[in-house]
Chains A and B, each alone.
Chain A
Amino acid sequence: MISITLNGREQSFDVEADMPLLWLIREEAGLRGTKFGCGIAQCGACTVHVDGQAVRSCMYPAVAAQDKQVNTVETLGSKDAPHALQTAWIKHQVPQCGYCQSGMMMAAAALLQNNANPSGEDIDVAMTNICRCGTYSRVKAAILDAAKEISS
């Protein structure tokens, strides 16, 4: 049994220690906002927060999350109470196919938590997610915008 606090609720899962957090989240907990892209920590589609830090859940063994706070993209915000990043994402019309974007937004949210005022270069370094549709310039513009919004 592995106990984690998933999106604020303590839960136990009867899974192998080496089951990646991604598959626990998507299939055991049924939260499908977190995406599978590569399974080898290359693309970032599966990004979630463990104790506030962005991790690539496809290579993060469930046991490593034992007794930790795991937050998925479902906690980011909603239409009625959007996160500043979500507002900026719409303003800049960021997504194309959209598949990578929940991972993008989670990586960006962690970045802003660590660095409320990132430079373009900080963003380049922090945002190593893959977007096959090539939305990078808009992702960057949206993060800069959201940072401004949060700090104002």
Chain B
Amino acid sequence: MSMTRRMFVFGGAAIGGGLALGVIGLGTHLAVHDRLAVQREGNGKDTLLNLWLRVNQDNTVTLLSPHTEMGQGAGTGLTQIVADELDLNWDQIKLELAPPSTEFSNGGVFEGFIGEMIGKAPKWAEHIASNAFNRLADVLNMQMTGGSASIRFTGWNIMREAAAAARQMLINAAIDKHSASANTSTDSGFVVDGDNRWSYGELVEHAATLAVPEDYVLRSPSDRKFIGKAMPRHDLPDKVFLKTQYGIDRYVDGMRYAAIAHSGVFGADVASIDNLDEIIAMRGVLAVEKMGLSVAVIADNPWRAEKAVKALKITAASHENSDISSASIESFQRQSLQGELSDAHAVGDVTSVQDGTGETIEAEFWVPYLAHATMEPMNASAWMEGNKLHVAAGVQNPLYVRAHAAKIADMDIENVVFHAHSMGGGFGRRVGFSMSEDNPIMWIDEVVTLVKKYQFPIKLTWSREADTRQDVYRPAILANFSAQLDENGKPSYWKSASYGSEGGAPAAMTPYNIGNVQVQFANHPSPIPVGFWRSVENSQHAFFNESFIDILAEKAQTDPIAYRLSLLNKDDDHAKCLTEVAKLCNWQHGVSDDGKAMGVAVQKSFGTMVATVAEVSLQNNKARVHRVWVVTDSGVVVNPDSATAQIEGGIMFGLTAALYGRCDIENGGVKQSNFHDYPIVKMTEAPIVKVKLLQSDNIPGGFGEVGVPTIAPAVANALAVLGKRLTRLPINA
């Protein structure tokens, strides 16, 4: 249990007579502190909401989340883990979500927590603390959708640790209070010693007085009843019966509505409003507010506000970005790739073989900027109650947003209350930070600024147009590849250079056994706001790498799966998934009688290996994807149905990007604005997706993002079989 050293388990005094246990993972920085009574009478709701696990006197166990929306099945997965580790029946485990009206503040609790532990929290600890809590916030929101290493680490290990510690505490309580024997164990909500049975509920009060044990053991896989089963999601009835409240559904009495226009040039202020009188005179309009980068219109109905915004005539201040375009960015990137490059990965020595006799194969790839286009556009509500500022929104890290709102309002964080709502899609859009240091949550700044000034409650809703044009985009990337084939058709070297940060390096590595490899990057600050877009760098680099290996297979006149396998060790998990997906789809290389072809791609991301085959035809020179087969290898699969749903969704998300997705830059802004020119794949175009999940005892890999990267190269590789090799996205441009 080496992981223990990297987290806190804290437990102790009862809340409502129950045993509350929390665990906080802090990376590798801090050691275990196992007895920390942070939850005290009088610390109130704030504290309660930070606890992860509460064993109740009615013999149920509550998993608590400071969020209202657990994302794509994540909450259900977490309860499965806890139910198994704590040895519960399914009806004993409850997922408790803070109702949107409930105040919560992670930060205050953490300060208390650190304070208990080491006296007054020093600056450095505060930093680690808030990072850790941000990560926890992400965990609870994004377990199945996020899937980065820390999330998987926290979800699988930390949650299980908390549950295992709780189970041991209940056993210890029976030993301590009832002199139970050393053979005491548990059975579905009971502590059992021979013929003696005590319900957890009976024992919690005593358990809460005991120290959190360090010597608990995790239960074995054979004891699992829920992990690995398609348990129904806890959040779905509310979604189907309209109980779920998204940010946009927030309402408070006296609410007014704001709509927004941005200057249209990234980074540029609004210089002037040229028809202010006309706007003020429109029905329902209460105020027009110029706020640096934007202008807001406040009205008594959101449509009236938006109508006024659409009628606004504004002039952007002149700005160095005013002239940039997709073409200028592309040529800048091309130039940069000729300049100084950083080495991200090197095997052997490419220069030593570069002048060999074989044919040199080169390719240049380009992928455009992409907006997230969450179904629910960005929005937030804010209002004052006494001297407290309330902010309500759906965000991926509420703690950060609360602190951010306090900063914007120039208020103490204690006086800011954040209400976390469900999110109509996240995909990385609702994270408080970006790759380019741009502010992705401008809508929070905007609504807070307005409420500070006008004092009445305001809901700000971005139009779809504002949402599309003021995103933190998936970065556009230009990439150069070259390789040379030896007499056996195998690459003697592989060289790639891509524009972008080295943060993308792991995604850019080729998995194939090639003697000489060089992977390089060129990076400069981005004039366009760029951020985390579902699967982050993997969607671009999988397209480059898996297209290029396919080009090499084509040159070597070898079946693309056989070619890949010839460059992989037999026991490599890429090889395993490729072999499995070939079986699943009944792999055929070549054009079928009815004009279809298959293409393949493989990429490991977020701990999950994914091999994908797409079956594609050309209709009026446009790609049409008929069927898709996906094989994943991801260790323990906590909930196979949620995992499958995430892969299905990831394929659609990636397919939209592959076929249609482009945000073109013109005059310093994004040209596309809404679903008519930024189309999303619909049901008629949706391929049939067949998913096979391979499992092992390894820690769970992510699912939310991993369906995205492979579909674009799989489709492009199929199109190449049909005679159309595309190295630029989108395909149906």
Contacts and interface: CB of A to CB of B under 8 A. Distances in A.
Interface of A: 15-16, 19-20, 22-23, 26-28, 30, 32-33, 35-40, 42-43, 45, 73-74, 77-79, 82, 86, 89-90, 93-102, 105, 123-125, 127-140
Given A23-B301, A133-B375, A134-B653, A98 B464 contact: no
B283 A16 contact: yes
Interface in B369-389: 373-377
A93 B229 CA distance: 14
B464 A79 contact: no
B676 interface: yes
Given A99-B424, A137-B688, A132 B680 contact: yes
A136 B242 CA distance: 20
B674 interface: yes
Interface stretch (B53-61, B243-251, B330-338): B243-251
A35 B248 contact: yes
Contact of A132 (B233, B235, B249, B653): B653
Interface string B437-459: 00000000000000000000000
Given A33-B242, A97-B72, A98-B424, 14 more contacts: A35-B375, A36-B248, A39-B306, A43-B675, A90-B232, A97-B375, A128-B684, A131-B375, A132-B373, A132-B427, A133-B653, A137-B648, A137-B686, A139-B683
Nearest to A127: B683
A83 B69 CA distance: 24
A58 B463 CA distance: 12
Contacts, number: 166
A136 B652 CA distance: 9
A82 B236 CA distance: 14
Contacts of B653: 132-134
Contacts of A38: 464, 674-675
A138 B73 CA distance: 15
Given A32-B251, A39-B463, A125-B684, A97 B424 contact: yes
Contacts of B249: 32
Given A43-B375, A96-B72, A86 B240 contact: yes
Interface of B: 69, 71-73, 232-233, 235-237, 239-242, 244, 246, 248-249, 251, 257, 283, 301-304, 306, 373-377, 422-427, 461, 463-464, 641-642, 645-646, 648-653, 674-676, 680-684, 686, 688-689
Contacts of B302: 23, 26-27
A37 B688 CA distance: 26
Contacts of A127: 682-683
Given A23-B303, A132-B653, A140-B683, A78 B425 contact: no
Contacts of B689: 137
B682 A130 contact: yes
Contacts of B463: 39
A93 B303 contact: no
Determine chain A's interface SS by DSSP, over half rule: loop
A19 B651 contact: no
Contacts of B422: 97-98
Given A27-B301, A32-B249, A90-B232, A95 B242 contact: no
Contacts of A130: 375, 675, 680, 682
Nearest to A105: B240
A43 B467 CA distance: 15
B240 A101 contact: yes
Contacts of B424: 35, 97-100
B237 A134 contact: no
B710 to A, nearest CB: 15
Contact of B239 (A19, A20, A95, A125): A95
B373 A128 contact: no
Contacts of B648: 134-135, 137-138
Q: Lowest 9 A-B CB distances belong to which pairs?
A: A134-B652, A99-B424, A98-B239, A134-B649, A23-B303, A42-B675, A136-B686, A99-B375, A33-B242
A79 B241 contact: yes
B464 A37 contact: yes
B464 A123 contact: no
Contacts of B676: 40, 42
